[in-house]
Amino acid sequence: MLDQVYEALQAKLISIEGINFVDMYNGQYLESEDHTRPEFLRPAVFIEFLPIEWKEMGQKVQYAEDATIRLHIVSDDTPSDTKSSASAAIRKLGLATLKLVSLVHKSSSTFD
């Protein structure tokens, strides 16, 4: 069941214009001890399934009331200067991340 949820969500996310990579989260964007990071195309979205608390219904049947999925959005380093005195080009770059977050949210919140 979770594999079907993952595949459907992955297909939906990769269809968003501007998203170049979607994968299951396992700390890909964190630096390792030798200060390297795995290579992947950015912007990227990593899907993380948080631990699920399963409940017994009896007769070897279990269910989960809630399942939480966390989405990690990773983009290239861009200027984050969005103050009114910044140039239009710099503001556009700074606001691009917010636009991407909004697109991911919109797409994932209508997930069936």
Average pLDDT per run of 10 along the chain, which is 112 residues long? 90 94 89 74 93 87 86 77 73 80 87 62
Rounded Cα distance between 60 and 44, Å, is 39
Phi first, then psi, for residue 45 (nearest 5°) are: -130, 130
CA 39 from centroid of its chain's CA atoms:
16
**Predicted pLDDT at 78:** 61
Q: In the chain, what's the furthest Cα-to-Cα distance? A: 66
> Taking Cα atoms as reference points, which of 98, 51, 48, 52 lies closest to residue 71?
48
**Predicted pLDDT at 94:** 73
**Predicted pLDDT at 54:** 85
**Predicted pLDDT at 82:** 64
